[in-house]
Amino acid sequence: MKIQLPIDPFNLTQGFGENPEWYKKFGLKAHNGWDVKTIYPDTPGGRRFILAPQDVQFYKQGNDPPGYGIYFEVIVKAKSLWKLTFAHCHSIETFSDKKQGESMGISDNTGNSTASHLHLTVKRVKFVNGQHEVQNYNNGYFGAVNPQEYVDEVRSYNGTQPMPNTNITIEGSLYEKLVGNSTKWDEVVKYLEISGDPSSTSFEDVKRVIAGLKSRITDIQTQLGNTQAELENRVEQVSRLKEQVLNSDKLRGELTKKLSDTVLEQQGMVGVYEKRLKEIQGELEAMARGKGELNKALLECKANNPTDQLTIADVLVLLFNKFKKIKLK
């Protein structure tokens, strides 16, 4: 079976599995599809028709500003059942079915995109209980596979197997359950602040948002760990400073006590010296009085005995006797 590639001419700008480091923050191993060039001389803004690769059935559409931007999904049938996602669109046509080669929308640069291009994600699905279940969801790409697998399968497929009938009848109890689950789904989408119609929000959209939140939580936990380590370092520094202050206070106390003891000791010595000084002053005063008495005695001796009649020995005897009288006093 021939396949119509979605952009004509078809040139890849980024293949499947490239740039793992960039896509890690979205919870992916690497790039989960193909990026196709859309900027050409006749479309300098990158707005080209997106063509149906084969006969397709419309599945859903939505708007994911942090991720795919404006996007839509279709179901196609080859040997396997496939879900194709076309992202970063400018507009989407209203349709339920499209024939191969018909336009489904126009490419652009919406969502998390650095330049106009068309992103294509391809996933194998199975139609089970009215739902298109993605196969091998935990493969690191949320079930996406290299689009080349889809292209190769279509080219080798003889086209004899019909598309499955997706029209189903739902009983009342199951309908109520589905409505209840849908309401909860709407609440989850609103809680996660995902823009667009909740009914067109895929589980992959929710997974991407949650993966982003987990990444943010990891960053916050890392920052918290660094802050905790810094806090512990600061506490240790404060503890050391406190110990230094306590040691300084202890040393200051010891020096203050020693100074106080020295002052008290000096004050005691001052008292001793003052007492001795008073004693010396008393002795000097006594000696002064004695000197006065001796001078007085000498004058009396001179008055009572003419000088020419006294010998030195007589004077010494008189002074000695007078001195004994003074001492006896």
Going by pLDDT thresholds of 50, 70 and 90, the confidence category of residue 64 is very high
pLDDT for position 167: 47
pLDDT for position 219: 83
Q: With a cut of 70, say whether residue 136 has pLDDT above it.
A: yes
Mean pLDDT over residues 275-303, rounded? 79
pLDDT for position 175: 52
Going by pLDDT thresholds of 50, 70 and 90, the confidence category of residue 271 is confident
| Residues 82 and 74: beta-carbon distance below 8 Å | no
Q: Structure pTM?
A: 0.52
What's domain 12-168's superfamily in CATH? Glucose Permease (Domain IIA) (2.70.70.10)
Going by pLDDT thresholds of 50, 70 and 90, the confidence category of residue 17 is very high
CB atoms inside a 10 Å sphere around CB 159:
13
Q: With a cut of 90, say whether residue 149 has pLDDT above it.
A: yes
Distance CA 62, CA 71 (A): 6
Compare 155 and 212 and report the one with higher pLDDT. Answer: 155
CB atoms inside a 10 Å sphere around CB 278:
10
pLDDT for position 162: 46
Distance CA 307, CA 328 (A): 28
Token output for 45: 């803004």
174-195 pLDDT, tens digit each: 556 655 666 777 777 777 777 7
154-174 pLDDT, tens digit each: 998 865 444 444 444 555 565
Q: With a cut of 50, say whether residue 255 has pLDDT above it.
A: yes
Question: If you write DSSP's letter for every residue of 246-268 in order, what string do you get?
Answer: HHHHHHHHHHHHHHHHHHHHHHH
Per-domain boundaries in the chain: 12-168, 221-328
Q: How distant, in Å, are the alpha carbons of 33, 93, 139 from that of 263?
A: 91, 103, 87
86 strand-pairing partners: 72, 120
Percentage of the residues of the chain whose pLDDT score is greater than 90:
44
Percentage of the residues of the chain whose pLDDT score is greater than 70:
83
Q: How distant, in Å, are the alpha carbons of 67, 83, 182, 196 from that of 187?
A: 20, 26, 9, 13
